[in-house]
Amino acid sequence: MFMISVELLLTACLKSNAQAHLMITDPDLLISLANSSSKTPEYLVSTQTIDEEVNGVRVRVFLVPRARVFSTHEVVYLAAALSTDMETIRRRIDELKLGRKVIQKLYAVRLDAEPWSAKPLTLPILCDRNEDKDCINEVEVEPAELRGSMVYAIYVSVNGIGRFLKITTLKYLDHYEINITRLAGYRGIARYIVNAKLTP
């Protein structure tokens, strides 16, 4: 039953149409845009996508901004982790421009390199091959064991690479914490804080 609900949720997230955003390929420039006081900051941007070879398999991945700024591809991950729709996530991220900090990105780092090195974390693009003709990733999900404060936990396999990453949501008294942990190829983690329960 849980497996079905996870797959339905992820499928619903993948089928939502993405909005057009500014394309940025330099992770440091992303942080500068969010910190800029001369114009309205952009917190949700398109980032570069590349083909990465992982365990001998081609995987389409995207560059994950290190802090504050979100890639449009991260919206799918957050929507699944919070059991909500992608438009709600986009709207909450956009509210950062107004000083409302419902969703905050703490950091996204590779764990095979020195902390805050120039190497950006990359994560696979979660897409639906039936809906997106440019999608090359085949995605499957399976439930993971819930431990401690976890209220949501899944493993995601990509292009036959089992447990490529793990997505977990932890619930605390006044906030949620989302962790996206890359397990295949190299290890890395992206962490987020959510200060309210989000519903569609």
What confidence score (pLDDT) does residue 68 get?
92
At residue 21, the pLDDT reads: 38
Q: Which pLDDT score, from 0 to 100, does residue 158 have?
A: 96
Please report how many Cα atoms fall inside a 13 Å half-sphere around the Cα of residue 196, on the Cβ side.
Answer: 11
pLDDT score of 148: 94
- Written as tens digits, the pLDDT of the chain (200 aa) is 334 344 555 655 554 433 333 444 555 554 444 554 446 679 999 999 999 999 999 999 999 999 999 999 999 999 999 999 999 999 999 999 999 999 999 999 999 877 666 789 999 999 877 777 778 899 999 999 999 999 999 999 999 999 999 999 999 999 999 999 999 999 999 999 999 776 54
b/e code 87-105 from CB counts within 10 Å (16+ = b) = ebbbebbeebeeeeebbbb
pLDDT in the model for residue 67: 92
pLDDT at residue 23, rounded to an integer: 46
Closest to 184 (Cα-Cα) out of 76, 52, 70, 71: 52
| pLDDT tens per residue across span 79-132 | 999 999 999 999 999 999 999 999 999 999 999 877 666 789 999 999 877 777
> What CA–CA distance (Å, rounded) separates 149 from 189?
18
Q: Alpha-carbon distance 81 to 76, whole Å? A: 9
pLDDT recorded at residue 134:
76
What is the pLDDT at residue 89?
95
* CA atoms of 169 and 197, how far apart (whole Å): 12
Distance CA 63, CA 172 (A): 29
